[in-house]
Amino acid sequence: MINYFEEKQHQVIPDKLNAFGIEIYSRYGKADEICEMLNFVSLATNKNVSKFIKKVFYDTKSNFCEIETDESLIEGGKDDLLLLEIAEKTIGQFEWHGVVKHGAPLKEKFEV
């Protein structure tokens, strides 16, 4: 029997998808990571800011999501702040302009 919760055991295949025109990829195909990324790109598309997202990669080894944005995204601008807000609602741990951020999914894991 396969233990789908082992560190390197893929839960979802394929682990690289294109959603809303954006490549999302989970190093070890973890379902929760893919769900977070899907929620992120879905909400970003709904709020008309997905054009600034190039790709999203969840590095399962470090439990860290890398969001690659377009060069045209202005740091501190309206669209940048909206994307940050969306990431904080949907992604557990990610980097934003060189700063590690913790979003709702991670915070919910530690609530009592």
DSSP readout, 46-77?
HTT-GGGEEEEEEETTTTEEEEEE-TTPPTTS
Number of CB atoms found within 10 A of residue 52's CB: 20
pLDDT at 108: 72
In a domain, 9, yes or no: no
In a domain, 58, yes or no: yes
In a domain, 49, yes or no: yes
In a domain, 4, yes or no: no
Q: Are strands 53-59 and 22-26 parallel, antiparallel or unpaired?
A: parallel
User: By residue range, what is the domain housing residue 30?
Assistant: 16-109
In a domain, 70, yes or no: yes
- Residue 112, pLDDT > 60, answer no
- Residue 26, pLDDT > 70, answer yes
The pTM score is 0.91
Please, what is the Cα angle at 44 between 67 and 7, to 5 degrees? 45
